Amino acid sequence: MITVTRVMACTVYRQIRSPASGFVRLLSSGTIRWVCPCISDANISGPLCNRTDRHITGIDDRWPNDDTDEPSSLAGGGSSAVTCPYCGSPLASADICSRCGQIHESASTGWRPDPSARHEGRYFVTGHPTNRVRDGRRASTDPDGGRMLPDYLELKTSGIRATWLGTTAAAAIIVMTAAVVWVLLVAGRRPPPAPEAGYLNALKDAGVSDQFNSDANAIAHGRQVCRRLEDGEPQQGLLADKIAVDAFCTQFSQGFHILEKADITGTFVLTDTSGAEGIAFDGAQCQGANGYFDVNPGTPVTVKNGKGEVLATTALGPGKSGSANCTFTFTVPLTEGQDRYVLSVGRRGEFSYSFEQLAAKGILMQLGQ
């Protein structure tokens, strides 16, 4: 039997496995079979603990062959109170600690004090000690200490690592999602850019910014376009006007018509078939003479609208053909949107056209007989 002479700072089992018949309860006073939990097999001798503060002596060479084989000293005499090996409180008859709860005959899963006293805590799975241990917040594994305990269960560490990696990945995804949401919310709170900046950029993209002397001139023009529309003028204008409407007065964007621009080609024919010598010809070029002396290269060509406002001006080009007729050509840029286009060559009368006529057939004017 075992005689305990001194046990210091040693967490002990109240039950220990016998090689013959499983668990044997060891309790008495004076001859208590308390052993240090580092005992794991039947062949036991000498000092059992490898720590200097644990000393157990007077040990039989082998365990009894049967757990009922207890010495007579266990049957009688005053037995000492049995205490909880974890907190030191007295145990009730049902092996329940009044302070920390049931400690025997349970199949709990979770962290419990390490019975081997090698670490502060050891993880149990359905009552089986495992290799997972911890000291404070630092977790590690101790398979060697676990194998010294009954019903040891080895847990794979890959599950812990996979759980840690999965948790880390989930946390990273949550952080990234929160960052994206935050960026979107911040971007949504930013004030929209000033319409002037967008208007100037649109003019540059359309290639019409060179129509204005400066950015200030372009902005002033855009504001003026909107004022004219608010005053009731037709919803039409050039491409730059449409860009201004989209930037400063979007209520007029729908239905706004961009006016077409065209270079109109004209022909002015001077005729003298009566022999009045109204044409002077030097063999290369011709021009008007006598009564038609005002018709020659450089004679001004003017285009006005129905209100008499000048829309465009140009001049006749060199005369070609011969002594019976002399043909002059010219080109004038026009923009649709006017009710009429009235053309005049010098002081030789006026000719009226629509924009559709000018764009489809051009201009043909004749003078003389």
| Per-chain mean pLDDT for the chain | 74
**Could you tell me the CA-to-CA distances from 194 to 173, 191, 209, 348 in Å, in that order?**
37, 9, 18, 53
Nearest to 117 by CA among 57, 50, 25: 50
Instruction: Say if residues 245 and 203 touch (Cβ distance below 8 Å).
Output: no
- pLDDT higher than threshold 90 for residue 316: yes
* d(C-alpha 208, C-alpha 298), whole Å: 31
Sequence spans of domains, the chain:
1-81, 195-258, 261-368
What is the C-alpha separation between 285 and 320, in angstroms, rounded?
Answer: 5
pLDDT at 38 over 70: no
CA-CA distance, 79 to 30, in Å (whole number)?
Answer: 9
Q: Which two tokens stand for residue 301?
A: 């060509």
pTM of the predicted model as reported, rounded to 2 decimal places: 0.44
Q: Which of 151, 208, 170, 133 shows the shortest CA–CA distance to 15?
A: 151
186 alpha-carbon distance from chain centroid:
12
Is residue 157 scored above 80 in pLDDT? Answer: no
DSSP conformation class of 253:
T
Q: Which residues contact 174 (CB under 8 A, 6 or more apart)?
A: none
Cα 197 to chain centroid, rounded: 27
99: helix, coil or strand? coil
- The number of beta carbons lying within 10 Å of the beta carbon of residue 274 is 10
Separation of first and last alpha carbons in the chain: 154
Of 171-180, 188-197, 206-215, 227-236, the least confident: 188-197
- Long-range (24+ apart) CB contacts under 8 A made by 156-160 are 160/132
Identify the band that residue 353 occupies on the pLDDT scale cut at 50, 70 and 90: very high
Reported as a single tens digit per residue, the pLDDT across 102-129 is: 455 445 788 999 999 999 999 998 888 9
